[in-house]
């Protein structure tokens, strides 16, 4: 018996597993906020294609999309497939841009297959890089690190760059980019194992455990010349602690506030005076606003990852049904590196 042809695959694929938003969380997300269903996969119409998703990305921003309120992007509707980035393979195509076998990245959601018009898809450029990396280091998180550090912080050689959630998808790239710019890179992460990894594997100059009672003193010791650039991923007390050590004319790229995403009572920042006294420039940013930089940063990151100059680590959950649990775990810091779900 030979390899299955396209027709065999079309017949075989009828069931699509999907994770729907069942209810909106109040405070912490629970698995009850999701519903897993099997639906029938419809045939593609003219201009459409079917993608078999191989990996699903789990990202902190998805917590915001579960809410109803005003944000920078529209939330998911109740009963709809959860929003999310995927990387997968085209298994059937009635679209001239894509052929069967193409590997594609796009926002196809928490499901094993998707019928799509392909407008939001891009092709995987360099097949020598593992497919899942297109959801992390050479995907949206990598482009986020690039945008916040290179374009907003604009660090100069010899300056000190600090990044929180330093072992994670975005933070791990920020510190390595800072080193490539000739800076002192200092990470902040939760626990010894993550801090050891950040220094020993990723090559940061230092990493400080924010869960330690000596966090402020440890950070102060790690930045003997103060902080010139701060890449903020977490917010809360970590941000206030860093603000105490900012240098005059330092820059803060406000990327994320994960410590606040499940809170019904937003954290009140205390050290605002440091921004005034030190004439600090702080800019919030959303990577999707800067698609022009996305292309540039991504091309450079692909080159550096392929050359082994930038390293990354992943937490891989197995199977779509594990996605809700893995997502909640990531929001609590149980991931170690980029959180993805392997779908087959
Ligand atoms: N602005 C944008 O366009 C953009 C794009 C992508 C990501 N982001 C933001 O960037 C941040 C990092 O995202 P990521 O994808 O790289 O996730 P990640 O770092 O891979 O995973 C999240 C990490 O956040 C840390 N964390 C969770 N709760 C915390 C708390 N209360 N205090 C301190 N740290 C906590 C945990 O690390 P520890 O174990 O070290 O605590 C956890 O592993 C998030 O805030 C996300 O929303 C923004």
The residue whose two tokens read 């894509």 is: 98
Q: Does the Cβ of 57 fall within 6 Å of ligand 1?
A: no
Beta-carbon-side half-sphere exposure of residue 128 (alpha carbons within 13 Å): 7
In whole angstroms, how far apart are CA 218 and each of 184, 206, 245, 336? 16, 10, 12, 22
Collapsing DSSP states into helix, strand and coil, what is residue 148? helix
User: What would the mean pLDDT of 172-184 be, rounded to a whole number?
Assistant: 98
> Cα angle vertex 213, ends 209, 215, to 5°?
45
What was the pLDDT predicted at 304?
93
- CA R_g for the chain: 21
Window from 3-7, 208-212, 234-238 with minimum mean pLDDT: 3-7
What was the pLDDT predicted at 8?
45
Window from 4-13, 103-112, 266-275 with minimum mean pLDDT: 4-13
Residue nearest to atom 38 of ligand 1 (CA): 190
Express each pLDDT in 82-124 by its tens digit.
999 999 999 999 999 999 999 999 999 999 999 999 999 999 9
Q: Does the Cβ of 142 fall within 6 Å of ligand 1?
A: no
Which is the closest atom of ligand 1 to the Cα of 287? 3
Residue nearest to atom 6 of ligand 1 (CA): 141
User: Could you tell me the pTM of the whole model?
Assistant: 0.95
What was the pLDDT predicted at 1?
42
Give kind and range of the element (H or E) at residue 126.
none
Window from 212-226, 245-259, 284-298 with minimum mean pLDDT: 284-298
Q: Does the Cβ of 238 fall within 6 Å of ligand 1?
A: yes
What was the pLDDT predicted at 296?
80
Which is the closest atom of ligand 1 to the Cα of 289? 3
The Å distance, Cα 104 to ligand 1 centre, comes to 25
Task: Say whether pLDDT at 72 is over 90.
Answer: no
User: What would the mean pLDDT of 266-284 be, rounded to a whole number?
Assistant: 97
The Å distance, Cα 46 to ligand 1 centre, comes to 40
C-alpha–C-alpha distance, residues 327 and 63, integer Å:
9
The Å distance, Cα 97 to ligand 1 centre, comes to 35
C-alpha–C-alpha distance, residues 93 and 287, integer Å:
30
- Mean pLDDT, rounded, of the chain: 94
Task: Say whether pLDDT at 11 is over 50.
Answer: no
Express each pLDDT in 121-175 by its tens digit.
999 987 789 999 999 999 999 999 999 999 999 999 999 999 999 999 999 999 9
pLDDT bin (cut points 50, 70, 90) of residue 12 is low
**Cα Dmax for the chain:** 75
Task: Say whether pLDDT at 9 is over 70.
Answer: no
What was the pLDDT predicted at 14?
76
Sign of the alpha-carbon dihedral angle for 116, 119, 121, 122: positive
The Å distance, Cα 281 to ligand 1 centre, comes to 22
C-alpha–C-alpha distance, residues 296 and 143, integer Å:
9
What was the pLDDT predicted at 331?
97
Which is the closest atom of ligand 1 to the Cα of 337? 20
C-alpha–C-alpha distance, residues 332 and 327, integer Å:
9
DSSP secondary structure code for residue 195 in this structure: H
Task: Say whether pLDDT at 2 is over 70.
Answer: no
Query: Which of 258, 262, 328, 341 gets mutated to test ligand 1 (max ligand atoms within 8 A of its CB)?
Result: 258
Q: Does the Cβ of 165 fall within 6 Å of ligand 1?
A: yes
What was the pLDDT predicted at 171?
98
The Å distance, Cα 99 to ligand 1 centre, comes to 36
Q: Does the Cβ of 190 fall within 6 Å of ligand 1?
A: yes
The Å distance, Cα 86 to ligand 1 centre, comes to 19
Query: Which of 165, 174, 199, 328 gets mutated to test ligand 1 (max ligand atoms within 8 A of its CB)?
Result: 165
Which is the closest atom of ligand 1 to the Cα of 170? 16
What was the pLDDT predicted at 295?
76
Express each pLDDT in 14-70 by its tens digit.
799 999 999 999 999 999 999 999 999 999 999 999 999 999 999 999 999 999 877
By C-alpha distance, which of 18, 14, 23, 92 is closest to 51?
92
What was the pLDDT predicted at 13?
64
């Amino acid at each position: 018996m030979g390899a299955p042809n396209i027709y065999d695959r079309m017949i075989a694929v009828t069931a699509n597993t999907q994770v729907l938003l069942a209810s909106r969380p109040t405070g912490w997300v629970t698995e009850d906020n999701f519903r897993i269903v099997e639906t029938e996969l419809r045939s593609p119409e003219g201009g459409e294609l079917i993608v078999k998703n191989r990996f699903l990305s789990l990202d902190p921003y998805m917590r915001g999309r579960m809410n109803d309120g005003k944000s920078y992007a529209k939330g998911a509707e109740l009963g709809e497939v959860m929003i999310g980035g995927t990387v997968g393979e085209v298994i059937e195509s009635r679209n001239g841009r894509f052929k069967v076998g193409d590997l594609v990245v796009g926002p196809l959601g928490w499901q094993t297959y998707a019928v799509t018009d392909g407008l939001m898809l891009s092709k995987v450029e360099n097949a020598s890089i593992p497919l899942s990396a297109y959801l992390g280091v050479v995907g949206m998180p990598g482009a986020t690190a690039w945008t916040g550090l290179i374009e907003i912080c604009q660090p100069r050689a010899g300056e000190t760059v600090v990044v929180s959630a330093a072992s994670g998808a975005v933070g791990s790239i920020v510190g390595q980019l800072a080193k490539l710019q000739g800076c002192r890179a200092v990470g902040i992460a939760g626990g010894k194992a993550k801090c050891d990894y950040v220094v020993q594997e990723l090559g940061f100059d230092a990493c400080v455990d924010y869960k330690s009672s000596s966090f402020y003193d440890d950070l102060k010791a790690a930045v003997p010349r103060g902080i010139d650039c701060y890449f903020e991923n977490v917010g809360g007390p970590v941000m206030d602690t860093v603000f105490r050590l900012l240098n005059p004319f330092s820059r803060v790229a406000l990327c994320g506030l994960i410590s606040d995403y499940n809170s019904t009572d937003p954290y009140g920042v205390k050290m605002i005076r440091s921004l005034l006294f030190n004439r600090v420039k702080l800019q919030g940013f959303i990577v999707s606003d800067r698609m022009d930089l996305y292309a540039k940063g991504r091309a450079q990151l692909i080159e550096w990852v392929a050359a082994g100059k930038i390293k990354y680590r992943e937490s891989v959950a197995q199977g779509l049904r594990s996605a809700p649990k893995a997502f909640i775990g990531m929001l609590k810091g149980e991931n170690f590196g980029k959180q993805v779900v392997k779908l087959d």
